[in-house]
A and B are shown apart, each in its own frame.
Chain A
Amino acid sequence: MGTVLALMELSRDREVLPSSLEALAVGKMIAEKVGLKLAALVMGGGIEQAAESLRAFPTDEVLVVDQPLLEVYQPELYTQAVEQVCSEIKPDYLVMGETFQSIDLAPRLAFALDSGLVTGCVDLEFDSGETLFIKPVYSGNVMAAYAVEGVPRLATFRSKSFEPAKPGESAPSPVRSLAISLDQSSVKIQAVEQVLSGNGHAQGLENAEIVVSGGRGLGGPEGFEILRELADQLGGALGASRPPCDLGWIEPSAQVGITGAIVAPDLYVAVGISGSTQHVGGMEGAKTIVAINDKEDAPIFKIADYGVAGDYKEVLPQLLEGLGRSK
């Protein structure tokens, strides 16, 4: 019986990322449909706890590669490690969440394993024995279904496209440690310095229950000051469309959209954002969407639940005042 291998990624505090648990759920789905075993693969240095935590999820096996050299992500060593695991396990599928790490790692694995890769998948179809990987192309304007030749079939999955795996009721899955040997002489890329904040979990933004985002319509960094007041008042995180990030009005990590953070909060407030396909792809999972835009026909209103057609410079002070008023 073949195997679906789900590669688990850890945060800097060595917890399994939510996007990996989504990948685990995807792996489960493939395993059930195609009739394969499911194994979770976790790699790193000093990761007993993470490995133990994975045993609670319904898999056939948790595979562990625990090596000091893998403590931080190094592309060439990680590629070697996964390659060796694959030569032992011979998986039919290798699935991962789409993250900064897998954006780098997955194509390397595709080359090393001589397999096809589909990135950023949002859905799967099982069509007479063939697994089809569904993803947006043309930056969200068209959907494509791909089949992958060769094994393992590689795929990464856009975050929040699938419900994450939940701990199961049954006995903990067995753990197996895999010994691999890493060849450091192949390492050409050396890390010199890291400038990081947070623990490597998706930023507060991606888990926030309320997100308040500003777009090009804010006109400059000053616009984000009043927007920040609104975010504080609501107890939400501050986000942005891409132009304010590219223009330096706010830090790049605030970007929401298909090439930024994918968010699905309870409330998303879009201010001065037109509603491009690429932005909407990162926030349309929000439960409630409020849009403030001076153009009544802005596309953002098509996907909003509440809209105010007006200049944000007038609307935001009104909103802040309304929120401040006693309930």
Chain B
Amino acid sequence: MNIIVCMKQAPDPEGPRDSFCINVEDMKVEPKGIPPALSLFDENALEAALRIKDADKENVKITVLCMGKKVSSAVLLKALAAGADAAVMVQGAEYGVQDSFSTARALAAAVAKIGDYDLILCGRQASDSNAGQTGILLAYVLGIPAVSLAQKIVPDSAHALIERVLQGGYETVKAPLPCLAVVGNEAGELRYPAMKERRLAKKKPTSEWAMDDLALGGALSQKVTLKRLFAPTARTRACKFVAGDALAQVLREDQVI
């Protein structure tokens, strides 16, 4: 069973707000002092793949696919150390401000170049664009079924049983392979690699491709255009600090409760 996990590199969204410097002119966010990281939900997607591999170590092969302007090797190593078997990075300056459609088309070309796959996993939304569309669009470009908000995936030889989060619970759906699942944080946090895995990771096969190596078939048209970036209005309130044993009293006096 071959699993491809699409992982994006993005600045750590938990960095302090002032480290997200907005370059208004070029409409770019230039992170200051926060290292690139694996997009958070993509880590959940990798964890979901690793859990499938846990159940069948010999037969499951996980390839991480990471596409971007410039992919940091530290970021890829993290994915390999956690347990992925191989990594493919696709880099290119052309990969500028992309919308989800063109990203999906480029990813589909990369997936086609990787070749054999049974399952593709993506994160629910990227930590930078927060668009949450690429996974499903990729499935449609490839012409395979997509299941979103997956929290658990159990494949057999021809199908995958996927638990999909719903309002107030979940449903289990059955999709024929190959298929794509979009994974949410309910799937669990990415495991922490042991020292030994981190050393081994450096020896795992890594391919480096340029965007030009992909059979893209024409220009990638944009359907969504970024017009402006700006800082969110920082809403603050004047906090009245009180002692723990006075809180109930104060809230009552101020008619909060």
Contact = CB atoms under 8 A, between A and B. Distances in A.
Interface of A: 75-76, 99-101, 103-104, 106-108, 110-112, 114-120, 130, 132, 135-150, 188-203, 234, 242, 245-246, 252-253, 258-259, 267, 276-278, 284, 288-292, 296, 301-310, 314-315, 318-319, 321-323, 325, 327
Contacts of A76: 145
Contacts of B257: 234, 267, 323
Contacts of B146: 75, 108
B20 interface: yes
A267 B256 contact: yes
Contacts of A242: 185
B59 interface: no
B165 A308 contact: no
Contact of A203 (B149, B167, B236): B167
Interface in B196-248: 222-232, 235-248
A11 B43 CA distance: 32
A192 B128 contact: no
Contact of B224 (A101, A118, A277, A292): A118
A150 B172 contact: no
B173 A189 contact: yes
Contacts of A246: 185, 188-189
* Category for how many chain B residues contact A: 35 or more
A307 B161 CA distance: 46
A156 to B, nearest CB: 9
A86 B160 CA distance: 32
B149 A103 contact: yes
Given A142-B230, A196-B168, 13 more contacts: A116-B99, A139-B128, A142-B232, A143-B232, A145-B228, A146-B224, A150-B223, A189-B173, A252-B165, A267-B257, A306-B241, A308-B243, A308-B247
Interface stretch (B65-73, B74-82, B85-93, B132-140): B132-140
Contact of B232 (A100, A140, A146): A140
A78 B130 CA distance: 24
Contacts of A305: 237-240
| Most A Cβ at <10 Å: residue of B130, B137, B188 | B130
A124 B227 CA distance: 13
A260 to B, nearest CB: 9
B251 interface: yes
Contact of A119 (B29, B131, B176, B231): B131
Tell me which of B186, B230, B237, B243 has the highest count of chain A C-beta atoms within 10 A of its own C-beta: B237
B137 A189 contact: no
B63 interface: no
Given A119-B131, A191-B172, A142 B229 contact: yes
A101 to B, nearest CB: 8
A143 B226 CA distance: 11
A164 to B, nearest CB: 18
A314 to B, nearest CB: 6
B5 to A, nearest CB: 19
